[in-house]
Structure 1
Amino acid sequence: MIRIRNLTHIYPGSRKVAPHVAVSDLSLDVREGEFAILSGPNGSGKSTLFRILCGLARPSTGQVSIAGFDLLTEPARVRGVLGVVFQSPAVDKQLTVAENLAIQADLYDIPAADYLARRDLALAWTDLGGRLDNRVETLSGGLARQVELAKVLMTNPRVLLLDEPTTGLDPVSRRNFLEALQRLHHERGLTILMTSHVFSEAEDVDRVAIMREGKLMAYDTPQALRAMIGTEMVVIQSREAASLAGRLESELGLTVSVVGDEVRLAETENGDSLPLLEKILHRYRPDIRSISIKQPGLDDVFVRVTGGAASGQE
């Protein structure tokens, strides 16, 4: 449903600034009906990729098709199947919920005879039924986000692009929004591509893409990505994490990563971490604040793939 081939985008430089390659020879497919999440550290190129997919930026080279339509040569056809929820609010807070939805209907030439049916269907999954006459500025962050998504759904899109839609929401509102999104995904068969830094949001999706420095570093199911790390891992908290990591590498030949005050060690294939834990405790106990065994999460995959801290972990 979303097909990207050899996509490159270069921001031109100037006399003082060199050209910047934001996306580099990236190819990616999101199949029809899939829910995919796109993640990556700041500067990874995901925002540029999102802008290209929305039609807000033209790539330097490469091809993009959405629902079989070429994004560059058939932009109107693409807009006809695409719904976009931006990170910044795209509703008028001074207007009521109903007024925002009515404006959306006018912008997309939804016939008056179809308006109420489209509106009611778009609102069916929300908690906005009794709040149509409320101004958006009086709603909670979670409800305001529901207005955004309901507005997009009125156009009956086949593909949804969402740019960190849960930013700024409290945990309950975030959970409710994501549960509603999953219901819409299953009930309507929507194809969804969403950017996110919160790895708990990626646990139940179909596939996760991780970018770094404009390149696609990994793209697979959450289960397959976690399997890259192993079945278990040892996590050590230390006041001198970098120093301890260096000693573990040089003295025990271990492969480690450092995240803040944590040293993380991927375990062997048989998943038996106890002998390793006992050896580390015996040799380095004074340097260890705590040590534990855990199953790898997507944040651990992110650290392994990008070589940096997982800024989106909760």
Structure 2
Amino acid sequence: MIRIEDLTHVYPGGRRQPPRTAVSGLTLHIPDGRFAILSGPNGSGKSTLFRILCGLARPSRGRVTVGGHDLLADPAPARALMGVVFQSPAVDKHLGVRENLALHGALHGLRGAAFRVRLDEALAWTDLAGRLGDRVETLSGGLARQVELAKCLLTRPRLLLLDEPTTGLDPASRRAFLNALGRLRRELGMTVLMTSHIFSEAEEVDSVAIMANGRLLAHDTPQALRDRLKGDVLVIDSPDPDTLAARLRDDLGVAAMRHGDELRVDDPPDADAVMLLERVLADYRRLVRGITVKRPALEDVFIHVTAEARAQGAAATAERQETAA
């Protein structure tokens, strides 16, 4: 459904700011009918890629096809396949639920009996049946998001693009929204691409793509990504993580990655994280506030691959500076 080939986007510089590469040489394929999540830290290029896919920005170079249509050369048929849910609300909070949906339907030529059929379809999964006359501003965050998704479903999209749609929702509303989204995707055969930084949302999707610094670092099923980390993960909360990392490296030959005040050991020696935990507590207790051993989760994979990318980037920069000198 989505084929992105060697996509690059550079924001032009100004008098005091050099040009900035937001997306660099990105290639990503999302097959028809799949549910994929795009994740990455702030500034990773997710938002720029989302804007390009929605047709709101034109890349510096590369090719994007949606349903076999070239999004850049012939955007109209590609856009006709899409429904989009933006991070910021795109409904009029002063209008009623039905009024918002009717307005969106009219923009797509849906009126009368045709609109009523599509309205019943779009609302069948929601909790909005008794709230159609209520203004959107009176709804909870979860119900307001249901209006957003119902609006997109009026047009029976083959591709649904969602930019962090659960932002601001409480855990119960977030889970209900994701359950409904997964059910609709299966029933309607839609392709779904959703950006998110909440890794629990990615556990049951078909694939997860991880970006950092405008590059695609990994794209695979959740299980295949977790399998990248061998054995358990040791996580250490330390008041002085740099000192502890140096001691682990020099005394034990253990490489620990820093993440905030935490140190993480993704590949403990001999794959025995428990034995390493005992050794750390015995030898470096004053440098430990908390310590745990856990099975790898997607968040651990994300931290691992982005840390590797930062280390590689730092090494490449140092090499360039040394060559220049």
Equivalent residue number for residue 163 of structure 1: 163
Task: Name the residue aligned to 1:36.
Answer: 36
- Given the alignment of the two structures, is residue 295 of structure 1 paired with residue 295 of structure 2, yes or no? yes
TM (norm. structure 1) is 0.95
1:75 lines up with 2:80 in the alignment: no
Deviations, residues 173-195 of structure 1 (Å, cap 9, x unaligned): 11111111111111111100000
Moved more, 292-301 or 147-156: 292-301
> CA offsets, 1:74-130, max 9 Å, x none?
211011110000001000111111101100111001242211110000001100011
Find the residue that maps to 1:144 and give its secondary structure: helix
Secondary structure, aligned partner of 1:22: strand
Which range moves more in the overlay, 42-51 or 245-254? 245-254
Q: How far apart in 2 are the matches of 1:132 and 1:268?
A: 56
Instruction: Give the conservation status (yes or no) of the 8 Å contact 2:254–2:269.
Output: no
Deviation string 1:3-41 (CA, Å, 9 cap, x unpaired) is 000001111112322111111010000011111111111
CA distance in 2, matches of 1:169, 1:233: 30
| 1:151 paired residue number | 151
Q: Which amino acid aligns with 2:27?
A: S
Q: Which segment drifts farther, 271-280 or 233-242?
A: 271-280
- 1:49-91 CA distance string (max 9 Å, x none): 0000000001110000011111012211011110000001000
Q: Which runs of 5+ in 1 are unaligned?
A: 309-314
How do 1:36-55 and structure 2 match up within 5 A? 36-55=36-55
The structural deviation recorded for 1:289 is 2.2
Indicate conservation of the 8 Å contact 1:241/1:262, yes or no.
yes
Separation of aligned partners in 2, 1:103 and 1:92: 10
Offset from partner CA, 1:118-171 (integer Å, 9 cap, x none): 000000110001111111011001100000000000000000000000011111
Match of 2:141 in 1: 141
Cα offset, 1:301, TM superposition: 1.2
Distance 2:235 2:8 in 1: 38
TM-score normalised over the length of structure 2: 0.91
Residue of structure 1 in register with 2:224 after alignment: 224
Q: Is the 8 A contact 2:34 2:190 kept in 1?
A: yes
Aligned pair 1:4/2:4, yes or no? Answer: yes
Change beyond 3 A, Cα 1:265–1:21: same
- Structure 1 runs of 4+ with >6 Å offset: none
1:69-218 equivalent positions in 2, closer than 5 A: 69-218=69-218
The offset of 1:269, in angstroms, is 8.7
Q: For 2:16 and 2:238, locate their aligned partners in 1 and report how far apart those are by CA, in whole Å.
A: 43
Aligned to 2:277: 277
**Contact 1:231/1:269, CA 8 A, preserved across alignment:** no
Q: Over the residues paired in the alignment, what is the CA RMSD in angstroms? A: 1.4
Partners of 1:267 and 1:13 lie apart in 2 by 41
Partner secondary structure for residue 284 of structure 2: helix
CA contact (8 A) 2:254 2:268 kept: no
Distance 1:205 1:93 in 2: 31
Indicate the larger mover: 278-287 or 75-84.
278-287
Q: 2:139 is aligned with what amino acid?
A: L
Structure 2: runs of 5 or more not aligned: 309-325
Specify the code of the residue in structure 2 equivalent to 1:182. G
CA distance in 2, matches of 1:136, 1:76: 30
User: Partner amino acid for 1:94?
Assistant: H
**1:110 partner letter:** L
Q: The residue matched to 1:130 in structure 2 has which SS?
A: helix
> In the TM superposition, what is the alpha-carbon distance from 1:279 to its structure 2 partner?
2.2
Aligned to 2:314: none
Separation of aligned partners in 2, 1:21 and 1:195: 20
Partner of 1:251: 251
C-alpha separation between the residues in 1 aligned to 2:274 and 2:172?
Answer: 37
In the alignment, the residues of structure 1 paired with residue 83 and residue 270 of structure 2 have an alpha-carbon distance, to the nearest angstrom, of: 45
Task: Identify the structure with the greater helix proportion.
Answer: 2
How many residue pairs match? The answer is: 308
State percent identity of aligned pairs.
60
